[in-house]
Amino acid sequence: MRELVAFLARSLVDEPDSVEVTVVEADRATIYELSVAPDDLGKVIGREGRTARAIRQLLVVGSADANKRPILDILE
């Protein structure tokens, strides 16, 4: 699912080369830490967080077979 987050972020931002996704495994969750160029933050969050919510939804669908909950963390 790291690739999903990276693909979506790279497709949405102005500076795709600055996109980084770090995966952190916790006990009951897999955390995807997404970092983008400061000017691109709004593009991955969206108005009222709608873009972030859509990414989270797709992350949940793609993680259906995993026994851990996926968490998208957008780093500021």
- Provide the Cα torsion 20, 17, 11, 51; round to 10°: 40
In this structure, are residues 36 and 13 in contact, taking their beta carbons and an 8 Å threshold? yes
Closest CA to 6 of 48, 47, 42, 58: 58
Single out the residue of 4, 31, 37, 41 in contact with other proteins (rule: CB under 8 A): 4
The least distance separating other proteins from the CB of residue 76, rounded to whole angstroms, comes to 20
Of 16-24, 25-33, 34-42, 51-59, the window that binds other proteins (rule: CB under 8 A) is 51-59
Q: Is 19 in the site for other proteins (CB under 8 A)?
A: no
For residue 16, state whether it binds other proteins (rule: CB under 8 A).
Answer: no
